[in-house]
Structure 1
């Protein structure tokens, strides 16, 4: 890996995925190997940064991104190959022994980021070809990805260990307590603000612009965190910067190539940041959702989410049947389709993981605008309605799913935006986080939203138990896996699971 980097980043993704980076970036490497055998040239830094991206393509991480955002969100149910661990989460019965809640894979990638942040700056003193601008760009990537991973952990587990230094020696202290969610969010914002000041706007290569951290992906992440922390003006401003850049645009969903360009191929004008799977490093979600389907769409999703025109069946929301899912079977299609009529072969599972798309940013802007109405900015309500209208028109949304909230009706606006987010972002690891964010705002003003979703498809014998559990706010987050408690005695279990 110390050779000159001459291949494209996409080829390197594939190369590094099949060769171990653990010899210099493992969680607990042998003493001395990091400094003595690496971190001497610009190419070393670049290889380490690419190693961060490669770590995000690990099937266990991708599957968890899907599980954490979708299993509790009400849009999926068990598939023919579901195991007990998936059923337990679907039924609000999560246990500390459930392997899905093992967060180790996240901390491995976090340590890769920490290592770059800590060791890369000194390389500039050793290699004069590494410019300050290049160094800053590399640091922005490590900072933003670390922020994304911690943001995901804090939304999933609430309080988590916050480790900001690299694990370089066995002599270091690995007994770390959790930090409060608010502290983690503060650090995420701090990292993203610094990453934004360091980030590039354009790598001069479309795949790089969509598959690596840019100013725009940092702004999308910032907007998301600001919504979670109820800083709505900042969220609005961050999304507005993306919109006003004129770098992104919705593709006409009425065309036959829309699905292929946005999902099957990826890196379209609707893309802001996508994890770049390829034919050499394939997306594991095809196996998870299609070949050995562990989950499927809920039975009434076509009727309740996308709507059905029984008089003119060909009149459909382009995001639903033959896009997000196969309406007749409930199979999730977004990661397995080639176009609206053909699926990809199993050996062609190269659909990306969509961290942020332009439609997501537009809907975050609408949500921030709606919240600002509640803070007295009445004019923002029409902005939210205009965004919803633009997206619905582009996606050919059905009249049956149209709502008519007034521009000053905050709750009705938020509900309409949430419905659009379900239609637009189904199965992209967003739904549970959307529900939890809205439910917990204003001191859990709308906790009932979580209860309604969890009980909608639950067996009648489980409903009372689910309602009782979800009354406890701590149940909205996962337990710490038992193995982590065994090796890290500074950890204390989420009180709901004690």
Structure 2
């Protein structure tokens, strides 16, 4: 993906890995000093998000294409198309993501180290953006480069290096997953404490709270998930998009319409628009899987009518975004884990009313039996699925198709192993492949930095 350069950071952009940043000012180079100069660092990164360049904060179509190519909502057994066939093909690409994410963290640290304590409104807004962006980066590192959380053992699971500043002598090692989660949460809460006043810095209150909800949900903190999701639903000013408005919302090329809390690629003059036309074609080159298609009410579900054509090809606009429907789905699942079944099902029924013409309420006693042949057979806590949990996961799969979600659903719900056949060869997605390798350059440089299981040596 192309990257724009920012002249004011010429001194800071050398050396790409987590351990490779100088803490000295090269001769003849000028580092930022004024609020406006530091603001330009954040504006550069935000412009990447708005133009669709960014793959590592909000994400873009490239990210969706890779994730959907590796997951199972698109049927690679029928045809590979122009997507990656399975997770083993993108291992090298995924390890470089680690390096790229820490470059963004570096920029955030430059702002935070130099602006904390300044009292102008601009400084406060820039700091809010830096804390939010860094917190989201750590959330993304947790999902991609750490094993799926096990709440009972999260203090022992490996997390990420916690980098507050870049020092040539620093050899950061991996904190525990619990420490990393607390660190990411602290960054996001610091962003909220700055009370951003200018929306042009992107990471407004409910954008940050949506990521806090995602973080709590991913790490199985169900009480916190419930609190955050209810706050967003009740106070964000957004409502679930109805059937009549669904197509306009989901197929919007640039504008965040309806229930969308945040999305990438909102710049209608992006240099990459021509490229994304090709990416849409790549995604459309592989049909939706039969197991996904079977979940829809094809006559009455607006999601099927809008997102899948008569050849089973996905035609949904593939943008990275957070929508209120995802918040509702997280809330329903959290209630289910807390054995608050009626509340969980009521939210699933509420979403169905906004997607399915003539939808009737599901009832606990009449839910379909658990399908033993499905890929996901256990929940996030490793317990066998109940009919209610299956109904929640099914609704999420229908709702989040082509939004890069399915890969992480597989990872957090048991990390099942499965295979495809391509040109007479069998390719297996192993359990360890759900977690990406730490960038090899960092591991080679720092022998105390542990590599993830499956990628050693």
TM range (shorter): 0.7 to 0.9
Matched ranges for 1:246-395 at <5 A:
246-255=236-245, 258-264=246-252, 265-281=254-270, 282=272, 285-290=276-281, 292-293=282-283, 296-300=286-290, 303-308=293-298, 315-323=299-307, 325-335=308-318, 352-354=319-321, 356-373=322-339, 380-395=340-355
Matching residue of 1:26: 13
Evaluate the alpha carbon distance shift between residue 178 and residue 71 of structure 1 in structure 2; reply closer, same or farther with a 3 A threshold.
farther
Displacement of 1:55: 4.2
CA contact (8 A) 2:70 2:85 kept: no
Matching residue of 1:216: 206
From 132, 135, 140, the counterpart of 1:147: 135
**Cα distance in 1 for residues equivalent to 2:231 and 2:258:** 16
**Cα distance in 2 for residues equivalent to 1:63 and 1:486:** 32
From 107, 110, 113, the counterpart of 1:112: 107
**Cα distance in 2 for residues equivalent to 1:152 and 1:407:** 38
**Cα distance in 2 for residues equivalent to 1:60 and 1:222:** 20
Matching residue of 2:82: 82
Evaluate the alpha carbon distance shift between residue 152 and residue 435 of structure 1 in structure 2; reply closer, same or farther with a 3 A threshold.
same
Evaluate the alpha carbon distance shift between residue 18 and residue 115 of structure 1 in structure 2; reply closer, same or farther with a 3 A threshold.
closer
- State the TM-score, normalized to the length of structure 2: 0.77
Matching residue of 2:364: 405
CA contact (8 A) 1:25 1:34 kept: no
Evaluate the alpha carbon distance shift between residue 415 and residue 161 of structure 1 in structure 2; reply closer, same or farther with a 3 A threshold.
same
**Cα distance in 1 for residues equivalent to 2:234 and 2:123:** 28
CA contact (8 A) 1:68 1:432 kept: no
1:416-468 CA distance string (max 9 Å, x none)? 1111111111121222223323x2xxxxxxx3x724xx35x5579748x65xx
Does the alignment pair 1:40 with 2:17? no
Q: Secondary structure at the match of 1:248?
A: coil
CA-atom RMSD in angstroms: 3.6
Evaluate the alpha carbon distance shift between residue 47 and residue 433 of structure 1 in structure 2; reply closer, same or farther with a 3 A threshold.
same
Displacement of 1:497: 2.6
Q: Secondary structure at the match of 2:286?
A: strand
Does the alignment pair 1:58 with 2:53? yes
CA contact (8 A) 2:38 2:111 kept: yes
More helix by proportion, 1 or 2? 1
Does the alignment pair 1:493 with 2:451? yes
1:366-422 CA distance string (max 9 Å, x none)? 11111111xxxxxx32222121111111112687x9864359998322221111111
Evaluate the alpha carbon distance shift between residue 334 and residue 18 of structure 1 in structure 2; reply closer, same or farther with a 3 A threshold.
same
1:36-64 CA distance string (max 9 Å, x none)? 73433222232222123234443654356
Q: Which runs of 5+ in 1 are unaligned?
A: 1-13, 125-129, 309-314, 336-351, 374-379, 440-446
Displacement of 1:17: 4.2
